Amino acid sequence: MATYGTDLVLLATGSDGSGGTWGEFVGWDSGGTPSSEGENFIQGAASYSQTFGNATTGKSIAFDAGSDIASSIPSGDVVMGWVFMGAGTNLYPYASGGHRFGIGASLTNFDMWSIGGDDRAPNPYGGWWNVAVNPRVTPDYTGGTGSGGAWRYFGSVIGDTTNGIRAKIAKGSPHAVDGLLMGRGEIYCHGTGATFTLMAAQNDLVANRWGLLQDTGGGTFLWKGLMSFGITATAVTFSDSNKTIVIDDCPKTYPAFNKIEFNHVDTDVTLTNVTFLAKGTYAPGNLEMIADCTVTMDGCSFNGCGTFIFDSNADISNTKFNGCGLVTTGGGTFDTCTFNQTTDSTKAVICASPAEAALITGSTFVSSGTGHGLEIGGTAANFTLTDCVFSGYDQADPGTAANKAIYVNIASGTMTITISGGSGVSQDYHVRSAGATVTVSADTTVTFRNLRANTEIRVYKVSDDSVVDGIENAVTVDPDFTGRYKWSFATAAATEVYYHIINTDYEFERNESYIVPAANTDIIVRQKFDRNFSNP
């Protein structure tokens, strides 16, 4: 059974304290006095809300922690709070500070950070939402002389003293604050049988309301903070599929605030057809294997995310990295993956050695216009790159341009990169070296065309009769020959091979000596019906 938890520490809920515990920041105190609200709440049993009356200047609700707690909020920790605005279309825009979060040394001296406005979801739709603020981030506004690094009062601020609220809101209590929490923002799981659904269910309990992984319906979850699969002392077995994880926009935290970690060597995580989608660019969501545990991804998609650090027990297949940061493979296996238009300024993927690069197969690299597709470090050594496609990389300045398909970041030595299948890599135009002598040896692809159904093909080297390649039944449709099929093999140019073409309904074909040409080529097969064979 899985266990779920968080590092967040509760500062207050709307159920806490009396009227003296909750107040208003001076200058943003034209609304009604905050009071306990037992009907509109998100955590616990009550919130603190306020009426607006006919006032048009700023309003606020602030919780008094009783003393300066800055020492309890170390670097990397944030303050998180549930805020409510029931008339979001009456706010000024985000850039004008329509909705802010305030942290102060007193109700007179405090800092404020923009968190919303009538042009920034979810404010225009109204309702409860959870925000995260790093008090060490430069504030957008100050009240009095600012907090001065002392943090005792925490709350929500509407409008400002210059512009105020765009329209008068005279009815009800449209502004409220509930649970206030502090910490790294970690949600973790350990044990067996963990899933996103079960993790979110723990997050969403009214008694918890951590605001870290919210179930928004339809297999979609809103996530922020640190998601830990396993903890230092205990592993997790986690498996989930066909889910979407939306990474919350947290512009008032820090770039590495949203992060996924895999801990404990015995952790085993399987993700199938899981999509990760970043809402913003400031903290788009990083991923790191802290422990070299078992991580399997198949059919997943990362969109607009941050950086990735994998390790040798990662098995990543059919997965797309669209507009993401640098992917460090760490010796993991990557098959049929797509690295599409990286946001990293120098490279899309980095491998610590040629041997690690050889573990990337059948994958596609699409240039963003700057930066290399694949960077290889370590010591010079020969390796084969299999069925990889590089698209859009520079060809204008052979050997020196900073956006080649492959950059061998090795200063000395000699190595050969054998290109087996795929496209987009050649000696002159697509490989750059930091000093090592690099030779590109591209295999030639030979394609048999116009094959009948149920055709078997075997290809052998003449020199030693070793198998080059083969297939039991060619099933790839040949678009140029109606009702026919095709099949390809790849090997080094000038290799002498012999091949068999076998089909029980057609005459056996054997070519005793075929020299593989330097350029990719097609062989059009004309199979003859075997008159001596008849089906029983």
Provide the pairing of β-strand 294-298 with 268-272. parallel
What's the pLDDT at 239? 98
Judge whether 76 and 205 are in contact, CB under 8 Å. Answer: no
Please name the residues in contact with 360: beta carbons below 8 A apart, sequence gap of 6 or more. Answer: 329, 334, 335, 337, 349, 351, 374, 385, 388
Alpha carbon distance 243, 241 (integer Å)? 6
- Taking residues 232-260, report their average pLDDT: 97
Dihedral angle computed from the Cα positions of residues 527, 528, 529 and 532, in that order, rounded to the nearest 10 degrees: -120
Check whether 533 has a pLDDT greater than 70. Answer: no
Low-confidence winner among 89-93, 262-266, 477-481, 503-507 (lowest mean pLDDT): 89-93
Residue 439 has pLDDT above 90, yes or no: no
Which pLDDT belongs to residue 536? 45
Q: For the residues 85-112, what does the mean pLDDT come to?
A: 92
Q: Which residues pair with 419 in a beta bridge?
A: 385, 442
pLDDT, tens digit, for every residue of 352-404?
999 999 999 999 999 999 999 999 999 999 999 998 999 998 876 666 788 99
pLDDT tens figures, 487-500: 998 887 888 999 99
Cβ contacts of 113 within 8 Å, gap of 6 or more: 100, 101, 133, 137, 139, 140, 141, 252
pLDDT surpassing 80 at residue 16: no
| pLDDT in the model for residue 427 | 61
Question: 136 or 125: which carries more pLDDT confidence?
Answer: 136
Q: Where do the domains of the chain lie, and which CATH numbers do they carry? A: 3-183 (2.60.120.260), 445-524 (2.60.40)
Question: In terms of Cα–Cα distance, which of 202, 259, 264, 184 is closest to 231?
Answer: 264
CA 318 to chain centre: 15
At 196 the three-state DSSP class reads helix
pLDDT tens profile 302-328: 999 999 999 999 999 999 999 999 999
Single-letter code of the amino acid located at 301 = S
| 3-class SS of residue 510 | strand
Distance of CA 506 to the CA centre of its chain: 52
With tokens 């009227």, the residue in question is 19
Residue 312 and residue 289: Cα distance in Å, rounded? 10
Residue 88 has pLDDT above 90, yes or no: no
Q: In terms of DSSP bridges, do strands 308-309 and 327-328 run parallel, antiparallel, or are they unpaired? A: parallel
- The tally of CA atoms less than 13 A away on the side-chain side of residue 457 is 26
